[in-house]
Amino acid sequence: MLHVVTAEQAGKRTDVLVAFLCGASRSLITQSARRGEVLVNGSPVKPSRPLETGDVLEFEITRPPVLVAQPESIPLDIVYEDDDLLVVNKPAGMVTHPAHTIVSGTLVNALLAHVQAALPGDLLRPGLVHRLDRDTSGLLVVAKREESLRALGLAMKGRRVEREYLGLVRGVPQHPLGSIEGPIGRDPRNRLRFAIVDDGKPAVTHYEVREAFAEHAELLFRLETGRTHQIRVHLSGIGHPVLNDPLYGKVESRFDLPGQALHAWRLSFRHPSSGETMTFEAQPPAAYVDAKALVRRPLERP
């Protein structure tokens, strides 16, 4: 595509104007410019280059293919199912939905094959009311109809979906009952992590010490909000990271866990059609139980 910069457009950054002209994101334009797909007066330029009246823009933006989740025959642990929804017990190690380079083997791929019909909502997150981290096991509710997805989504936003987690943490919190409040956003030093930051979204995690050991504890968590990595960030913030957490704690080879020892064990909500209160529980998987047995025994030191 060719475009001659007008007097009104002069002074704008190259990436800003190209993004406007082709209806794409600036990040996509930046990637295209680095591949030499954006030219000014016949030469490749930096995305930040300011434009002048009469400059000739030439660009052809390569857009990434639209990802669509595909059905895959993967075993599922279905705890409950009816015409409106289903509750599934996700294993640790399974990604909840396709994203970026992970396009298969996810819970969504398995759900589409199980339901054998279209699920409502986003193409990559169909039916999902909430999600769990890849290495967090436990209960998820999935909507099968548009009305159910809408009702459960509103219930989640209104904090009327009760979620409880079990987790093993390093050390024993000083107080047996407590609440952790701290806004969560992207870690400015590592974009793969989240952190407690001043301009983050409000987040509240309530905890209760369920059992204390010599160097660890098992905690029961109740979420008041549902931020990404919330429990993991908050527990790391108070000096008691979740056991074996690769991002916010320390991985120990003696534990046969795929990642953090965290399990969504209890889920309660009102059925979107009947209004009946429904409560489901799923006990932690064997790897979690084995890790708990190990922390009961203090580590022998040389």
Active site residues: 133
Residue 95 in tokens: 């990604």
Which residue's entry shows tokens 């968590």? 221
Cβ atoms of 266 and 164 within 8 Å: the answer is yes
Distance CA 228, CA 106 (A): 18
What residues form DSSP beta bridges with 219? 167, 209
Q: What 3-state DSSP class applies to 292?
A: helix
Query: Cα 147 to the chain's mean position, in Å?
Result: 24
State the DSSP code for 25: -
The DSSP code for 76 is -
Nearest to residue 261, comparing CAs of 276, 272, 248, 245? 245
Distance CA 142, CA 139 (A): 10
d(CA 185, CA 201): 6
How far apart, in whole angstroms, are the C-alpha atoms of residue 260 and residue 229? 11
From CA 92, how far away is CA 29, in angstroms rounded? 37
Answer whether 287's CB lies under 8 Å from 258's CB.
yes
Q: How many angstroms separate the CA atoms of 137 and 91, rounded? A: 5
Q: What angle do CA 67, 70, 76 make, to 5 degrees?
A: 130
